Amino acid sequence: MEYPFMKQCQFYEEIDSTNSAAKALARTGAPEGFVVYADRQTAGRGRLGKSFHSPKGGLYCSVILRPKLRACDMMALTAAIAVAVHRALLRFGICTQMKWVNDLFLGGRKICGILCEGQFSGDMPEFVIAGIGINLTPDPSLPTELRPIVTDILTETGVFIPREALLDAVLSCLNDVLIELPKRSFLEEYTRNSATIGHIVRVSQGEREFVAQAIGYAEDAGLIIRHADGSEEVLRSGTAVPL
Ligand code: BTN
What confidence tens digit (pLDDT) does each residue in 83-121 have?
999 999 999 999 999 999 999 999 999 999 999 999 999
Of ligand 1's atoms, which has the minimum distance to the CA of residue 20?
A: 14
* Proportion of the chain above pLDDT 70, given as a percent: 99
Q: Which H/E stretch holds residue 234? A: strand 232-235
Reported as a single tens digit per residue, the pLDDT across 117-137 is 999 999 999 999 999 999 999
Nearest CA residue ID for atom 16, ligand 1: 131
| CB neighbour class for 155 (10 Å; exposed up to 12, middle 13-18, buried from 19) | middle
Q: Quote the pLDDT of residue 5.
A: 75
**Residue-level pLDDT at 1:** 53
**Distance between CA 116 and CA 195 in Å, rounded?**
20
> Beta 103-106 vs 109-121: how paired, if at all?
antiparallel
Residue 44 alpha carbon to ligand 1 centre in Å: 6
Is pTM, for the whole model, over 0.85? Answer: yes
Cα 199 off chain centre by: 20
- Provide the strand spans (E) within 85-186: 97-99, 103-106, 109-121, 124-134
- Residue 2, CB half-sphere, CA atoms under 13 Å: how many? 5
39: phi then psi, degrees, rounded to nearest 5: -85, -30
Asked if 142 and 101 touch (Cβ cutoff 8 Å), the reply is no
Question: What pLDDT, on the 0 to 100 scale, is given for residue 3?
Answer: 73
Nearest Cα neighbor of 80 from 93, 61, 67 is 67
- Choosing from 25, 34, 37, 52 the residue with most ligand 1 atoms within 8 A of its CB, the one to mutate for a pocket test is 52
Ligand 1 center–CA 37 separation, angstroms? 11
Contact 62, 130 (CB under 8 A): yes
Pocket test for ligand 1, best of 9, 19, 75 (most atoms within 8 A of CB): 19
- C-alpha dihedral sign at 155, 157, 162, 163: negative
Residues with CB under 6 A from ligand 1: 17-19, 41, 44-47, 50, 52, 54, 60-62, 102, 113-115, 131-133
